Chains A and B, each alone.
Chain A
Amino acid sequence: MLFKSLRVRASQGTQYITDLRKAVPNGFRGRPVIAGTPCEEGCTACRDACPTGAIQLAPLALDLGRCVFCSECVEACPADKIAFTPDPRMGARSKEDLVVREGAPAPPLLAASAELTRLFGRSLKLRQVSAGGCNGCEMELNAVANVNFDLQRYGIEWVASPRHADGLVLTGPLTRTMRDAVRLAWEAMPDPRFVIAVGACAISGGLYDGAPGVDRGSHPGERPRAFPDFLDEVAPVLFVPGCPPHPLTFIQAILDLLRIR
Chain B
Amino acid sequence: MTSVVLHALPLDQLAQLDPEPWRADLLDRVEQGARPVTLYGTPAPTGAEVFVTAVLEEGPGRLHLSRTLVTRAVGYPELTTTIPALHCFERELHEQHGVRFVGHPWLKPIRFEGGDRAAMNGYPFYKIEGKEVHEVAVGPIHAGVIEPGSFRFMCLGEQVYHLEIHLGYQHRGVEALLLRGDARKLTPLVETIAGDTSVAHAWAYCAALERLAAIELPLEIEAARGVALELERIAMHLAGLAGLAADVGFLQGATTYGRLRTTAINTSMLLCGSRFGRGALRPGGNPLALDGPRLDTVRRALSLLEADLPIINDCFLSARTVQHRLQGVGALTETVARELGLVGMSARACGVPLDQRAAGPGIYGVVPVVPCTEPSGDCWARARLRVAELDASLRWVRGALDRHPAWQAARARLLALAPSHLVIAVAEGWRGEVVHCLETDAQGGLRHYKVQDPSLRNWMGLALAVRGNDISDFPICNKSFDLSYCGNDL
Contacts and interface: CB of A to CB of B under 8 A. Distances in A.
Contact of B259 (A12, A68, A84): A12
A70 B187 contact: yes
A208 B315 contact: no
Interface string B104-122: 0000000011000000000
Contacts of B278: 68-70, 136, 243
B140 A178 contact: yes
Nearest to B174: A211
Interface string B187-220: 1110011111010000000000000000000000
Interface string B250-268: 0010011011001000100
A134 B486 contact: yes
Contact of A160 (B112, B143, B198): B143
Contacts, number: 188
B353 interface: no
Contacts of A27: 266, 269-271, 273
A178 B149 CA distance: 10
B209 to A, nearest CB: 15
Nearest to B142: A160
Nearest to B307: A11
Contacts of B271: 27
A256 to B, nearest CB: 22
Interface stretch (B27-35, B164-172, B327-335): B164-172
A175 B304 CA distance: 41
A244 B274 CA distance: 9
A29 B140 CA distance: 33
A32 B384 CA distance: 42
Contacts of A160: 143-144
Contacts of A70: 187-188, 278-279
A133 B142 CA distance: 14
A180 to B, nearest CB: 9
B192 A134 contact: yes
B171 A213 contact: yes
A72 B147 contact: no
A130 B276 contact: no
Nearest to B262: A148
Contacts of B192: 134, 136, 207, 243
A129 B484 contact: no
A181 B169 contact: yes
Interface string A52-93: 100000000000000011111001000000001000000000
Interface string A89-133: 000000000000000000000000000000000000000111111
B145 A128 contact: yes
A1 interface: yes
Contacts of B411: 75
A250 to B, nearest CB: 12
Contact of A129 (B141, B279, B311): B141
Given A4-B318, A213-B113, A69 B274 contact: yes
A130 B273 contact: no
A154 interface: no
B309 to A, nearest CB: 9
A239 interface: no
Contact of B311 (A7, A68, A178, A208): A7
Nearest to A143: B262
B405 interface: no
Interface in A127-167: 128-143, 146-148, 158, 160-161
A139 B197 CA distance: 12
B177 interface: yes
Contacts of B176: 211-212
20 contacts: A15-B259, A29-B274, A51-B188, A68-B188, A70-B278, A72-B185, A130-B148, A130-B170, A131-B169, A133-B170, A135-B146, A135-B194, A135-B484, A136-B196, A147-B258, A148-B262, A175-B169, A176-B171, A211-B176, A244-B195
Given A135-B485, A136-B196, A143-B262, 20 more contacts: A1-B315, A1-B319, A4-B315, A11-B307, A11-B308, A27-B271, A29-B279, A69-B279, A71-B287, A132-B172, A133-B486, A136-B192, A136-B195, A136-B198, A148-B259, A158-B144, A158-B145, A181-B141, A181-B148, A207-B177
Interface of A: 1, 4-5, 7-9, 11-12, 15, 25-29, 49, 51-52, 68-72, 75, 84, 128-143, 146-148, 158, 160-161, 172-173, 175-178, 181, 185, 207-208, 211-214, 243-244, 246
Q: List 10 A-B pairs, minimum CB-CB distance, nearest first.
A: A134-B195, A29-B273, A136-B195, A212-B173, A160-B143, A213-B173, A27-B270, A4-B315, A213-B171, A211-B173
